[in-house]
Structure 1
Amino acid sequence: MPVRKEASGRRSVQAEVEVPGSPEEVWEAIATGPGISSWFVPSDVEEREGGTTVSHFGPGSSMDAVAKITTWDPPRRYAAESPEAMGPGSATVGTEWIVEAQSGGTCVVRVVHSWFASTDDWDKQFEGHAHGWAAFFRILRLYLSHFRGQPSVAFQLMGAAPGPHGAAWGALVGPLGLAGAAEGQRVSTSAGAPPLAGVAERVGPSEFPELLLRLEEPAPGIAHMFAMPMGGQSFLPIRVYLYGDSAKDAAARVEPLWQAWMAERFPGPQAG
């Protein structure tokens, strides 16, 4: 997903996905706090032009991404701006969300990041954002296909390991009993590991290790884990989304087990 460069200095990158649902149902998932929190990260949205969106990527306000809504046109489009989104001195970044109805009861969701720059300094980071959206959009499609509109509780964990991300990935999925999972296969975690059971919806290639599960246990839901190299080490994020009337109790029961399991095996912060 390369950066598009215009003569005016405007640069942009985009990602899109086709998902099931009416425009109103899809809008609920991408433009409200409870909807976004059901497949992305915990989020708050003031649903109006001039309102604020906050995405909580970890504990503490330093991990919050804050933007001001500049366009609000439900259920078709909204846009927001984030000053210095990539750090002090960086450009203001505009993010536009578009919902386009298709035949057959589906919609295309498109997200476009744009900014003005005279150099390529930020291009790689934004290309990485586009690839990141591709992973989250797989979760969105799974959510809308199986859990649309249900009550949701989510938690996030983070481990870190030295060395190549392939080795770090093995250190995660091996003890979990999830190594060698194949798409379409029913899998479950090993005895002594926190409980997860369901169907493997996606298994990433070795160069981009990733596992996306549609859960039956500890409650209906989705689990997503992957390995990401950064700064000479590998980060191992795990996100668990649980749905339905049993989600709250199930999350309260298993999140502490996951926190303890990850803290024992991997250093690094644990984000709930």
Structure 2
Amino acid sequence: MPVRKEASGRRSVQAEVEVPGSPEEVWEAIATGPGISSWFVPSEVEEREGGTTVSHFGPGSSMDAVAKITTWDPPRRFAAESPEAMGPGSATVGTEWIVEAQSGGTCVVRVVHSWFASTDDWDNQFEGHAHGWAAFFRILRLYLSHFRGRPSVAFQLMGAAPGPHAAAWDALVGPLGLAGAAEGQRVSTSAGAPPLAGVAERVGPSEFPELLLRLEEPAPGIAHLFALPMGGQIFLPIRVYLYGDQARDAAARAEPSWQAWMAERFPGPQAG
């Protein structure tokens, strides 16, 4: 997903996915706080032009992504701008979301990041964003296919391990009993690990380890495990999304046991 460069200095990168649902149903998932929180990160949206969007990528306000909505045209398109989105002194980044209805009861969702720059300083990071969207869009498609509109509760866990990449991944999925999972296979965690059971919807290649599960236990939901090299370490996030009337109680039981299990095996992200 290379960066597109125009003579005016505008640069952009985009990602897209085809998902089930009407434009109104898809809009609910990508343009409202509860909808976005059901497959992405905890978010709030003021649903109007001039409103604010906030996405919480971690604890504390320093991990928040804040943008101002510049276009609001439900259920087709909205756009927002984030000043210095990549850090102090960086360009303002515009993000556009587009929903296009297709035949057969599906829609294409497209996200476009654009900015103006005279150098390539930020290109690699934005190409990384596009790859990141591909992973989140797999979660979005799974959510809309199986859990659309249900109440949702999510939690995220984070560990970190030294490289190499493959060894860090094995240190996570091995003790969980999830090593060697195949797509379409029903899997469950080992004795001594927090209970997690479901069907493996995606198993990433060895160079980009990833496991996407459609859960039956601890409640209907989705789990996403992956390994991300950053700052000389391998970060090991686990995202769990639970759905339905029992989701909140199930999350309240599951999250503490997961936190304890991760803390015992991984020191957590360390300063680079």
TM-score, with length taken from structure 1: 0.99
Aligned to 2:261: 261
| 8 Å CA contact retained: 1:156, 1:271 | no
Structure 1: runs of 5+ lacking an equivalent = none
Tell me how far 1:162 sits from its aligned partner. 1.0
CA distance in 2, matches of 1:34, 1:209: 29
Tell me whether 1:107 sits opposite 2:71 in the alignment. no
Q: Tell me: CA distance 1:232–1:271, structure 2 relative to 1, closer, same or farther (3 Å).
A: closer
| 8 Å CA contact retained: 2:235, 2:269 | no
| 8 Å CA contact retained: 2:100, 2:108 | yes
Tell me how far 1:270 sits from its aligned partner. 12
Q: Tell me: CA distance 1:271–1:164, structure 2 relative to 1, closer, same or farther (3 Å).
A: closer
Structure 2: runs of 5+ lacking an equivalent = none
| 8 Å CA contact retained: 1:29, 1:36 | yes
Secondary structure at the counterpart of residue 40 of structure 1 = coil
Tell me how far 1:77 sits from its aligned partner. 0.1
Q: Tell me: CA distance 1:45–1:271, structure 2 relative to 1, closer, same or farther (3 Å).
A: farther
Tell me how far 1:170 sits from its aligned partner. 0.2
CA distance in 2, matches of 1:55, 1:245: 24
Q: Could you tell me the percent identity over the aligned residues?
A: 95
Query: How many correspondences in the alignment?
Result: 272
CA distance in 1, matches of 2:260, 2:148: 31
Aligned to 1:29: 29
Secondary structure at the counterpart of residue 131 of structure 2 = helix
CA distance in 2, matches of 1:110, 1:270: 35
Tell me how far 1:163 sits from its aligned partner. 1.6
CA distance in 1, matches of 2:112, 2:228: 23
Superposed CA offset, 1:109-137 (max 9, x none): 00000000000000000000000000000
Secondary structure at the counterpart of residue 129 of structure 2 = helix
Once superposed, which parts of structure 1, at least 4 consecutive aligned residues long, lie more than 6 Å away? none
CA distance in 2, matches of 1:201, 1:3: 29
CA distance in 2, matches of 1:134, 1:224: 13
Secondary structure at the counterpart of residue 261 of structure 1 = helix
CA distance in 2, matches of 1:51, 1:187: 43
Secondary structure at the counterpart of residue 240 of structure 1 = strand
Question: What is the RMSD computed on CA atoms of the aligned residues?
Answer: 1.9
Tell me how far 1:74 sits from its aligned partner. 0.2
Superposed CA offset, 1:241-271 (max 9, x none): 0000110110000100000000111112699
